[in-house]
């Protein structure tokens, strides 16, 4: 993925394997000698953290699947069995459930970082697309996994969300019947969701590989949003960024552990500790927190079909974002108007999440519709901003900007030479 490899070894066994399967040179070029912009900040840690969380979800999910029973009359009890009777089952379940939330946290930060620094712009459009596809697969996988415990909120959440497809003209009812495997959410629905929930993470893993392939082809974006001009702008990924990633993983792991051991149910819903009852509807049906902004957009529009279209459009519009933003400058650091709109957009998304977690009544209806309008207005104004915005002057190179920000006041060229020599 990184061109001709510079990997060398004197180990006979590794040489034998490398000649037949160049796995070591692949790892060396992708994770050791891979040239990385020397000005990446800690926001770039989110990609590696997302990869760690995906692996954690797959491992814990596979183990949980060994003890779970995908049957409508036994799913809830098998979940309790895992929590109470399986050795460290409580830990596995809490790691899996909270891991999903933390997975979404790092991915959301990853997406907003990309929006701020213009990582969706040419030539990284396909890289951005792969990221959005991963996000969609995450949402589908998480939704199906949320149904599996077969609690009250799981059951009714599945009923409400899947019933939305009935709004599709002509084929809507057929789609819903196919999803349910009948005429209501029941045993066939659970089997379908269990199968897809188990399968999709492995599909996601494959898309992640393509995502990394596209990333390594054109190299990482950077906070300046300018292209690499030469070797003076880069440093090897190892040990510089491996250490930085390990530090980020340590901090993230501490936060995750605190949540896991002291507040494991903080991000969940208490109704899901009640077995599913088709005859009793919860007073307020809500999805998991990471779906709330899109749920708010769905509810903001009175018409069912238009609401569904708006909800999916809120995600799909990200695919055409590289062409909506007509500015030649990537990073918001040099775009004063876009920076202001970005922070307004971030606040708007938080408002949508808050509105989605509250009943659709009173002032929340007004706020939801206003926030939905502002959400789409952000994307629709991007072409206009690119035309009239006057960006700040860009630095000549990454190395120049890094050295200007350093404490060394010596000759720039000498410092660059020293840097190249040390690398």
Select which of 28, 121, 216, 269 is catalytic: 216
Q: What is the DSSP letter of 335?
A: -
The per-residue pLDDT for 237 is 94
Which residue of the set 245, 271, 325, 348 is catalytic?
245
Query: Of 244, 304, 339, 389, which is the active-site residue?
Result: 244
pLDDT at 353 over 90: yes
Residue 300 has pLDDT above 90, yes or no: yes
- Torsion angle, alpha carbons of 166, 187, 268, 289, to 10: -20
- Could you tell me if residue 405 is inside a domain? yes
pLDDT band at 421 (very low <50, low <70, confident <90, very high): very low
Report which DSSP code applies to 39: T
Which residue carries 């939801």 as its tokens?
Answer: 368
Cα separation, 149 vs 152, whole angstroms:
9
Single out the residue of 35, 48, 46 nearest to residue 216, CA to CA: 35
Tell whether 284 is covered by a domain.
yes
The answer to whether residue 244 is catalytic is yes
Known catalytic membership, residue 125 = no
Active site residue 361: no
Give the mean pLDDT of 212-230.
94
The parent domain of residue 290 ranges over: 40-422
Express as a percent the part of the chain with pLDDT over 90: 87
Which residues have CB under 8 Å from 122's CB, separation 6+?
322
Identify the pLDDT of residue 411: 47
* Axis-axis angle for helices 412-422, 398-405 (nearest 10): 110
Phi, psi of 227 (to 5 degrees): -75, 155
Four-point Cα dihedral 356, 359, 360, 361, nearest 10: -140
**SS3 labels along 68-88:** CCCCCCCHHHHHHHHHHCCCC
Q: What is the pLDDT of residue 6?
A: 77
Distances (CA, A) of 7 to 1, 3, 17, 61, 388: 14, 12, 13, 36, 49
Surface-to-core class of residue 274, CB atoms within 10 Å of its CB (0-12 exposed, 13-18 middle, 19+ buried):
middle
Asked whether residue 20 is assigned to any structural domain, the reply reads: no
Q: What is the pLDDT of residues 63-98, one digit of tens each?
A: 999 999 999 999 999 999 999 999 999 999 999 999
Active-site residue (options: 220, 327, 331, 397): 220
**Sequence-ordered list of residues with C-beta below 8 angstroms from that of 211, at least 6 positions apart, any chain:** 127, 130, 131, 134
Residue 412, pLDDT > 60, answer no
Answer yes or no: is 274 within a domain: yes
Say how far apart CA 241 and CA 8 lie, in whole Å.
Answer: 21
Residue 21 is assigned to a structural domain of this protein: no
Q: What is the mean pLDDT of residues 345-352?
A: 98
pLDDT score of 417 more than 80: no
Number of domains in the chain: 1
Q: Which band of pLDDT confidence, cut at 50, 70 and 90, is reported for residue 324?
A: very high
Q: How far apart are CA 285 and CA 21, in angstroms?
A: 53
pLDDT digits (tens, 9 = 90+) for 245-274: 999 999 999 999 999 999 999 998 889 999
216 belongs to the catalytic site: yes
Distance from C-alpha of 371 to C-alpha of 373, rounded to nearest angstrom: 5
Over residues 104-139, the pLDDT tens digits come to: 999 999 999 999 999 999 999 999 999 999 999 999
Q: Is 105 domain-assigned?
A: yes
Answer yes or no: is 163 within a domain. Answer: yes
pLDDT of residue 115: 98
pLDDT of residue 391: 96
Query: How does the average pLDDT of the chain come out, rounded?
Result: 93
Domain harbouring 102, CATH code: 1.20.810.10
Residue 187 lies in a domain: yes
Q: Is 238 a catalytic residue?
A: no
Cα 263 vs. chain centroid, distance in angstroms? Answer: 23
- Given the residues 18, 233, 271, 288, the one annotated as active site: 288
pLDDT 10s digits, 370-384 = 999 999 999 999 999
- pLDDT tens for 333-345 read 999 999 999 999 9
What would the mean pLDDT of 42-50 be, rounded to a whole number? Answer: 97
> 225: closest CA among 398, 108, 389?
398
Residue 219 in this model has a pLDDT that exceeds 50: yes
CA 173 – CA 167 distance, rounded (Å): 8
């Amino acid at each position: 993925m990184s061109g001709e490899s510079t990997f060398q070894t004197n180990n006979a066994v590794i040489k034998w394997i490398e000649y037949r399967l160049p796995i070591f040179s692949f790892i060396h070029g992708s994770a050791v000698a891979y040239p990385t912009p020397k000005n990446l900040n800690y926001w770039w840690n989110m990609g590696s953290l997302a990869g760690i969380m995906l692996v954690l979800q797959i491992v814990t999910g596979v183990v949980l699947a060994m003890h779970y029973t995908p049957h409508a009359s036994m799913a809830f009890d098998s979940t309790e069995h895992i929590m109470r009777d399986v050795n460290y089952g409580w830990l596995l379940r809490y790691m899996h459930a909270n891991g999903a939330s933390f997975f979404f946290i790092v991915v959301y930060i990853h997406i907003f970082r990309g929006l701020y620094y213009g990582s969706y712009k040419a030539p990284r459009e396909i890289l951005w697309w792969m990221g959005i596809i991963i996000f969609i697969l995450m949402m589908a996988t998480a939704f199906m996994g949320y149904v599996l415990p077969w609690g009250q909120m799981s059951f009714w959440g599945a009923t409400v969300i899947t019933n939305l497809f009935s709004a599709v003209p002509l084929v809507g009812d057929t789609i819903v019947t196919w999803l349910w495997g009948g005429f209501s959410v029941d045993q066939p629905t659970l089997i379908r969701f269990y199968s897809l929930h188990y399968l999709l993470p492995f599909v996601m893993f494959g898309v992640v590989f393509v995502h990394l392939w596209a990333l390594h082809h054109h190299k990482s974006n950077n906070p300046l949003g300018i292209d690499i001009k030469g070797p003076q702008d880069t440093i090897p990924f190892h040990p510089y960024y491996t250490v930085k990633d390990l530090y980020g993983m340590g901090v993230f792991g501490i936060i995750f552990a605190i949540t896991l051991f002291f507040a494991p149910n903080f991000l969940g819903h208490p109704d899901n500790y009640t077995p599913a009852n088709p005859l009793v509807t919860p007073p307020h049906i809500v999805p998991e927190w990471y779906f709330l902004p899109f749920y708010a957009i769905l509810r903001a529009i009175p018409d069912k079909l238009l609401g569904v279209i708006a909800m999916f459009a809120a995600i799909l519009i990200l695919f055409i974002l590289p062409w909506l933003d007509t500015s030649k400058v990537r990073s918001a650091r040099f775009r004063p108007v876009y920076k202001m709109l970005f922070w307004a957009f971030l606040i708007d998304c938080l408002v949508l999440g808050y509105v989605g977690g509250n009943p659709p009544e009173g002032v929340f209806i007004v706020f939801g519709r206003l926030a939905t309008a502002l959400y789409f207005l952000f994307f629709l104004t991007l072409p206009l901003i690119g035309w009239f915005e006057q960006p700040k002057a860009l630095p000549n190179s990454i190395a120049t900007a890094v050295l200007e920000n350093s404490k060394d006041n010596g000759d720039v060229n000498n410092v660059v030479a020293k840097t190249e020599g040390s690398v």
